[in-house]
Amino acid sequence: MNVPNVLTTFRLLVIPIIMIMLTYTTPFINFITAVLFLIATLTDIVDGYIARKYNLVTNLGKILDPLADKLLVLTALIMLIPLDRIPAWMVVLIVLRETGITSLRAVAASEGIVISASSLGKHKNLFQVIATISLIMHHTYPIIKVKDVIITLDFHTSGLLVMLIAIFLTLWSGLDYFIKFYHEGSDK
């Protein structure tokens, strides 16, 4: 097993740990959970870079890498629903999009059509990760002290606002994949 696949496996192994940590709702544990989630998501960038730079792309990696990314984010979001940190409808839309695009890619691949990842999908993922980290942190934390005034940030509210942008990008990128599939399929 090469380094990129080890990093991907790490992402998969972190998922149950994050699930357990999300059952604790103290600001400190939430902060540690958000840091662990961030580290796990950053391994995606590192494993992709190493795989491409050193030509370590494997069939196992091609399957596990996107699966680990989706499972990490979706598991965290699902765990946040009963904590009232995210409305279920937002998570349902994300799950439907991910399931639909994964199915579409499988159908496309069976017809010899390759639908490459778009920049919309990458932006969608970035906003989902930022929103998820904010929603995991949830509480209001002091950010900076100016003179005698402590400036705070409400991570729950900011996470929901970022998630609205993520939902928009999620739906837009999903539609974009279906349009690409339609055009690629009609060219054959």
Contact between residue 86 and residue 135 where contact means Cβ atoms under 8 Å apart: yes
The residue length of the chain stands at 188
Task: Give CA separation, 112 vs 69, 104, 108, 109, in Å.
Answer: 25, 12, 6, 5
CATH number of 3-186: 1.20.120.1760
Q: What is the pTM of this model?
A: 0.91
118, pLDDT greater than 90 = no
| Distance (Å, whole) CA 132 – CA 83 | 13
| Distance (Å, whole) CA 131 – CA 137 | 10
- Higher confidence at residue 112 or residue 38? 38
In the chain, the percentage of residues whose pLDDT exceeds 70 is 98
- Higher confidence at residue 77 or residue 115? 77
CB atoms within 10 A of CB 129: 22
CA nearest to 45, candidates 30, 65, 27? 65
pLDDT value, residue 186: 63
- Higher confidence at residue 75 or residue 105? 75
Domain boundaries along the sequence of the chain: 3-186
pLDDT digits (tens, 9 = 90+) for 130-160: 999 999 999 998 888 888 888 999 999 999 9
* CA geometry: angle 96, 102, 103, nearest 5 deg: 90
Average pLDDT of span 43-69:
90
